[in-house]
Structure 1
Amino acid sequence: MSEDPPTISAVDLFCGVGGLTHGLVRSGINVTAGVDLDPHCRYPFEANNAAPFLERDVKDVKAADLEPYLSGGKYSLLAGCAPCQPFSTYSQSGRSKKRGMDWRLVLNFGSLVADLQPDLVTMENVVQLADHEVFSEFLGSLKGYSVTWAKVECTQIGVPQSRKRLVLLASKLGGHGLDLTPQFVQSPRTVREEIGKLPPINAGQQHPRDPLHIASSLSEINMKRIKASKPGGTWRDWDPDLIAACHRKETGSTYPSVYGRMEWDAPAPTITTQCFGYGNGRFGHPTQDRAISLREAAMLQTFPRNYKFLKRGEKVTFSRLGRMIGNAVPVRLGEVIGQCLVDHVRAFENGETEKVGVGVSEQLGRLF
């Protein structure tokens, strides 16, 4: 049996800053292009990955545009994560029209699969997608593929944050199980293990040797609040004069997971696009009186510590970088997905027909 990874050429749709791409590359897959409409993602994608960034809206991309990028390997892979905001449980009121338009991106992905007929397909998204009709429509575009999907808790594969994601895998290479072997399952990685060695900074401070290691400023009242906060605690631990007016009302009393500190020896909460704000979730540093820095957020998304997000001398924009980091596929999740695909193709090449009929849903179901 060959130990070299099979030659798989991949295109990453909705690539963002390259979280999924970077993980796939780590697994041995050759990502030949990333597609995204956000021009701010070009630099981090290209600076960290040996692939061009195609600044295009996926709904305008045709199969002919991608065929040259998929033709270089023995096998082809179309991968991606359509924007998940339409299916998120956050801020869904008053967005039905926008959600309707955004849902189309999942179907655009499906149309490209139907036209290109790549050997392999993977899609990562929020778990709520599985409950929507559009997901069934996407599955309909995968005729001729062996298809399976599962809801994955990322803490179980070495991502140091609580993050549930839907992972779909599809293959035209037969019914070989995409085997998530036991070594993929790890003890939950903690906040301390991931960011505990970063140098301390204050609220509003930027580290001189790492411009991404920067924390947002805190108002006087929020500085008092974070000093009164315990790791893993809530605002209910504070003196009454520190509690926000909205939380004193009955409607706000059931939202304790804001203005909180992370715990050193537990996974972080889900890293969101607002992770740089102390009041936006449990995003307070475990011991330092500040919110986590953008670098810490990226590392909790399992980006390498040296992953480049900013050009030399570029000014930090918290909202932009927070959005790009929070929307990214965790690199470790991308690596596990890629390893599953590599192992699947290797099993196919080696004629391991005893795996026929062992579906990914069965394998993932045992683990997640």
Structure 2
Amino acid sequence: MTACERTPVIRALDLFCGVGGLTHGLALSGIEVTAGIDIDPACRYPYEANNKAKFIEEDVNELSASGVAAMIGGADFSMIAGCAPCQPFSTYSRTGRSNKRGGDWQLVKKFGRLVREAQPDLVTMENVPQLLEHPVFDEFLGCLDGYSVEWSVVQAVRIGIPQTRKRLVLIASRLGAAGLTLPQDAQELKTVREAIGGLRPIKAGESDPRDRLHTSSRLSKTNLDRIRHSQPGGTWRDWPDELQVTCHKRSTGSTYPSVYGRMSWDDASPTITTQCFGYGNGRFGHPEQDRAISLREAAILQTFPLDYAFVRPDEPVRFSVLGRMIGNAVPVRLGEIVGQTVLAHASQYLRSTDLGGTTD
């Protein structure tokens, strides 16, 4: 391989890393993630068990620019990546991590501060689309002075994720502007059937003995009757009157048709949330089995590999903890697409440098 064909080495740090969805995707694309930072100790095992990066339990407020620079130095290019949770819009605000932080927008602001002070070659941020409507986004852009910046709202189904999830994705580079746009090719829809159709059937409250994460929450007799009357893609209006919930019949409940709903085999799933294991929390009923989706099914719909380990062998499976970690994760496939885009972008400038030229 000649110098101009060499793949660039990009060394990255993942802020607010959670269980490692973004890290795993970036690593699959060929980016070297050295460490993930998060203040949730429950994320340490899944992060380190599935990735070659180190988990650092630390508040981003305590990170120094020099420390960050040291973790991502020594490669062709340096990178800071992360999903800075927005408390007004994100389920992160209702988890144990948020009570250690103050202020609605401090996480995004601290992300911007570290970028401004550490000056990595590359930056990527994934977030909720509503961030575009708030002045804090303009503040974040102000921290990217000297960078070429591209952002877009990505529909997950357009990049091979079996989920109707919309996310804001930003990529910034000090190298130049070429090739920063994230591809959103209209791919063939990846369906719920393709994602989870091959898993072992289980009943409500049952676990697969070969995979403890493939476990489904229990259902009351009333909810078991309800799901038996639910049609894939249908609503609670399909139920007999005696099973319908009074509050849903009121005009104020008419805007929540998907609660207690089943997914459809041949469509994408709804957005996987931190409460996706609960049948009454959205359209989280299995397409044909009388239960809510399992934790493993939720993780697969977030494009985690089937064998991604979320809990130690000697620890209990806790729905609230694991649901939070899975629902808050960046889909692995999204991280991989971002990584591929960044690598292709950086390759153009590496070739230019190796050849002694410049690239516009």
Instruction: Give the TM-score category using the shorter length.
Output: over 0.9
Structure 2 residue 177 is matched with structure 1 residue 175: yes
Matching of residue 163 in structure 1 with residue 165 in structure 2 = yes
Contact 2:352 2:359 in 1 (8 A): no
**Per-residue deviation, 1:65:** 2.2
1:295 Cα deviation after fit: 0.1
CA deviation map 1:107-142 (0-9, x unaligned)? 000000011000000000000001000010000000
The one of 22, 25, 31 aligned to 1:23 = 25
Q: Residues 99 and 62 of structure 1: is their aligned pair in 2 closer, same or farther, counting only changes over 3 Å? A: closer
Task: State which drifts further: 9-18 or 245-254.
Answer: 245-254
CA contact (8 A) 1:70 1:76 kept: yes
Partner of 1:272: 273
Greater CA deviation, 309-318 or 272-281?
309-318
Gaps of 5+ in 1: 357-368
Deviations, residues 14-52 of structure 1 (Å, cap 9, x unaligned)? 000000000000000000000000000000000000011
Give the corresponding residue for 1:137: 139
Q: Distance in 2 between matches of 1:18 and 1:314?
A: 19
1:72-221 pair list within 5 angstroms: 72-88=74-90, 101-178=103-180, 180=182, 185-221=186-222
Q: Do 1:177 and 1:355's aligned partners in 2 also have CA atoms closer than 8 Å?
A: no
**TM-score normalised by structure 1 residue count:** 0.91
Letter in 2 for 1:208: P
1:348 counterpart = 2:349: yes
The secondary structure found in structure 2 opposite 1:11 is strand
> Are the structure 2 counterparts of residues 34 and 85 from structure 1 closer, same or farther at C-alpha, using a change threshold of 3 Å?
same
Q: Shift in Å at residue 253 of structure 1?
A: 2.3
**Distance in 2 between residues matched to 1:258 and 1:223, nearest whole Å:** 14
- The 1:52–1:99 alpha-carbon spacing in structure 2 relative to 1, beyond 3 Å, is closer
- For 2:113, the aligned partner's letter is S
Cα RMSD after superposing both structures = 2.2
SS of structure 2 residue aligned to 1:350? helix
Aligned equivalents of 1:294, 1:151: Cα separation in 2: 27
Matches within 5 A, 1:212-361: 212-351=213-352, 356=360
Offset of residue 265 of structure 1: 0.6
Q: Deviations over 1:195-215 (max 9, x none)?
A: 000000000001111010000
- SS of aligned partner of 1:87: coil
Choose the corresponding residue for 1:39, options 38, 41, 59: 41
8 A contact 2:13–2:33 mirrored in 1? yes
Q: Indicate if the aligned counterparts of 2:46 and 2:310 stay in contact, CA closer than 8 A.
A: yes
Does the Cα contact within 8 Å between 2:21 and 2:331 map onto a contact in 1? yes
Deviations 1:219-273 (A, max 9, x none): 0100000000000000011111110121122211221010000000110000000
Q: Is the contact between residue 5 and residue 351 of structure 2 (CA under 8 Å) also seen in structure 1? A: no
Listed one character per residue, the Cα deviations across residues 52-93 of structure 1 (whole Å, up to 9, x for unaligned) are: 10101111211122222111311000000011342349999x
- Range 27-36 or range 57-66, more displaced: 57-66
Secondary structure of the 2:252 match is coil
Per mean C-alpha deviation after superposition, the further-off stretch among 76-85 and 329-338 is 76-85
- Could you tell me whether the CA contact under 8 Å between 1:190 and 1:265 is conserved in 2? yes
Higher mean C-alpha deviation, range 286-295 or range 171-180: 171-180
Q: How far off its partner does 1:102 sit?
A: 3.4
Of the three residues 42, 57, 65, the one matched with 1:63 is: 65
Letter of the aligned partner of 1:66 in structure 2?
V
Inter-partner Cα distance in structure 2 for 1:69 and 1:273: 31
- Distance of 1:98 and 1:164 partners within structure 2: 27
Task: Give the Cα–Cα distance (whole angstroms) in 1 for the partners of residues 172 and 113 of structure 2.
Answer: 15
Count of matched residue positions in the alignment of Structure 1 and Structure 2: 351
Give the AA of the match of 1:197.
G
Give me the whole-angstrom Cα distance separating, in 2, the residues matched to 1:52 and 1:89.
25
CA distance in structure 2 between the partners assigned to 1:316 and 1:264 by the alignment: 27
Change (3 A) 1:269 1:354: farther
Q: SS of the residue aligned with 2:253? A: coil
Q: Which residue of 2 aligns with 1:50?
A: 52
Paired position in structure 2 for 1:361: none
Give the counterpart letter for 1:215 in structure 2: S
Report the CA distance between 1:177 and its aligned residue: 2.4
Q: Is the 8 A contact 1:301 1:331 kept in 2?
A: yes
Give the 3 Å change call, closer, same or farther, for CA 15–181 of structure 1 in structure 2.
closer
| Aligned equivalents of 1:90, 1:245: Cα separation in 2 | 30
